[in-house]
Amino acid sequence: MELREFAERVLFATTLEEKLRSPADLTDAHPGPALVTPESPGRPAELRFKVSGAARDNFPGTRQLESERERGRLLHFFANHELLATELMALVLLKFPDVPAAFRKGVLRTLQDEQEHTRLYLARMKACGIQFGELPVSGYFWRCVAPMANPIDYVAGLCLTFEQANLDFARHFAQEFGHVGDETTATLLEKIYHDEIAHVAYGLKWFRRWKNPNESDWEAFCRTLKFPLSPQRAKGFTLNVEGRRAAGIDDAFIEELNVYSQSKGRTPTVFVFNPFAEGRIAQGRAFNPTKAQAQLARDLENLPQFLCRQDDIVLVARRPATHFLSALKQAGFALPEFATDVKSLAQRKLGGLRPWAWSPDSVELLGPLFASLTVATRTPDECFSENLAPLYSKAWSAEFLGKVLPQLANETWLCTKKEIGVAVDSLNGALAAIASIRARGHHKIVIKEAVGLAGSNAMRLFEPELLETQRRWMVGALRRGQLVVEPWLERELDFSAQLEMTAGVLKLCGYTGLLADAKGQYQGNWAAPKFERRIPPDVFGLFDGPPDLVTRLHALYENIFSQLEGELRRVNFLGPVGMDAFVYRDAGGKCRLKPVVEINPRHTMGRVTVELMKHVAPGSHGRFRLLNRATLKAEGFTDFAAYAQSLSEKFPLRLEGEPLPRIREGALCLNDPATARVCLAVCQVSRTPVAGKS
């Protein structure tokens, strides 16, 4: 029989008997003309593809394999995959008649293997009480691979994607069937596993022959795959390095595949780190970050990966290094997809947009993606508008606290209205506010820009007389907007509440402590066990009473959250919210609480800390720090890479728990120390409160 006639029978036959029959003698003297790809292969009625988008049959989990029928259901999925591979290989023989004869012979050998695999699965299914076709079958493999324009599309899409993934699945399920005592199926899957090694090796040989010699295997693989295929489809639950090496795949490819991520179905949300939101709101396009600020944004641009899910996308200028991502994956963190081009994402279906903050810069950056959202719930103007801009102002936070405090006037452990900041919009107003505060006995004063970047928008007035430089600073700051003048309070402990405003409901995500330097500038966060619902216990330890202080404090914040929810609903705000607070000592040495210092309608480092704590083993404490070069030098290091090496040696990671291990103790860098220039983010976990938390 001619190879063409055989391939036509496999592709178009409407009975399994014809599809799975393989003649002993085949010749390839007349390959014939190239075939136009049919919409679908010929199949018996019960095995025709279900309509794309129709409800799918649930894939049996490994916990269900104790049931013989569930094992049969799983084998039904596998049998369809093998039959699809057989049909696609027949299509290759018909679609590319002019490829080298050696390639066609290899496709034939592989096709015959797939026929045998299908027959073996059918026999095992029957023994488990399942008939082929009694469950719906998917045509996904066909839809992804059949449109191939060149033979290299076939070896990339089938051999190096679906068959490579089977190196993971066949080995994994061989072990699982063995665990439930089904040695017959386990042995079958082991045979298929070893056959797949040969199939992948065959595809890799031809892929290397046809690819651009100036590209690495990985680069060529990524470029050749056509959406919806991606390298994510080339791996299973756990990466089987041994099998890939046996197939000839090099370690560089394996390492890249290990850290690669892209959604396999769920529409992803796009995250981006835009830390200059307040600057753009205050100054518009006139805002220009300093060189150090711009470098800090580059150093930390991957931080949103700790806020998102595995299927999501983080938009970055430069994709993080593979070795760095490998370390994060080993620490138990699922990796998102990293994208470097907004335009490429505009061609994808997206589930949502999630910048660090909604502001003019993020609306401008993500604007082209709104049309790609599968559920367009909000327009760009609804994400950020003039109604939302005041939420970023410290004056708004002070006004909000002013509304809350009168309801709590009898609580002697709270601050009074005298400690709330005063918003001013002129130099005379600022001077009057300073004089009024000092007349009440507060000599030390802090002045903040109402909207501005943290760490560069405040000035302390500790001298008796106002210096000319301080006066000039206020004049310059007032050109950009309001100032908030407030008494300097001797802080004992800072903490924050991290919240999420959903459709009409404000939800608590957790509490964290705050690390600040002597000037009150941010250094990091820490979190204690039960952070999800409990104010840090260190807060309560600063007060002498009353006996029910814990209950009162939580009730206080429930009341504050309820009022804040109403304010946010009124301006139609959705998204993350951080609320800072602190405990201070008054002139008499008594501790008091300022329950609202700033409200930030955006992601914060405190929110990052809360999300990191979800990877921490129950009972352990966590600390998140941002180290600058001054801190690095103070700790005896000249570069971040040396510091990171010392950190890993001093605090090695230890994971505990099943099936998803969490960090019990140890330290981990959250951005790449090899490329960091001005800032390194570090997470440290300990069984006891981490030193330097407050």
Q: Which pLDDT value is given to residue 63?
A: 67
DSSP code of 671?
A: S
CA distance 160 to 156: 5
Mean pLDDT across 542-565: 93
Alpha-carbon torsion (24, 30, 31, 35), positive or negative: negative
Three-state DSSP class for 512?
strand
Cross-strand pairs, 350: 373
Half-sphere exposure of 475 (CA within 13 A, CB side): 7
Distances 666 to 189, 522, 615, 684 between C-alpha atoms, Å: 39, 23, 12, 6
Q: Where is average pLDDT lowest: 71-80, 221-230, 517-526, 545-554?
A: 517-526
3-class SS at 52? coil
- Report d(CA 426, CA 604) in Å as an integer: 30
**Cα–Cα dist 261/245, whole Å:** 21
Sign of the alpha-carbon dihedral angle for 59, 62, 68, 71: positive
- Which DSSP category does 232 fall into? G
Going along the chain from its start, the domains and CATH numbers come out as 3-26+58-259 (1.20.1260.10), 269-385 (no CATH)
Strand order in the sheet with 422-424: 422-424, 483-487, 445-449, 458-461
- Mean pLDDT over each residue of the chain, to the nearest integer: 93
Tens of pLDDT, residue by residue over 88-133, are 999 999 999 999 999 999 999 999 999 999 999 999 999 999 999 9
Categorize the per-residue pLDDT at 694 as very low, low, confident or very high, splitting at 50, 70 and 90: very low
Joined tokens for residue 29: 């003297």
Q: What band does 59 get if pLDDT is binned at 50, 70 and 90?
A: low
Take residue 126 and report the two structure tokens written for it: 């029957």
For 171-221, what is each residue's pLDDT tens digit?
999 999 999 999 999 999 999 999 999 999 999 999 999 999 999 999 999
- Tell me phi and psi for residue 14, to 5 degrees: -110, 15
Strand partners, 491: 584
Question: How many Å is the Cα radius of gyration of the chain?
Answer: 31
Least confident of 39-48, 60-69, 105-114, 186-195: 60-69
Range 635-641 average pLDDT: 94
SS3 74: helix
Question: How far are the Cα atoms of 272, 318, 346, 351, 421 from residue 338, in angstroms, in the given order?
Answer: 10, 9, 15, 16, 42
Going edge to edge, which strands form the sheet with 654-656? 591-600, 575-585, 490-501, 506-516, 522-527, 621-628, 679-686, 662-669, 654-656
Return the structure tokens found at 7: 């391939």
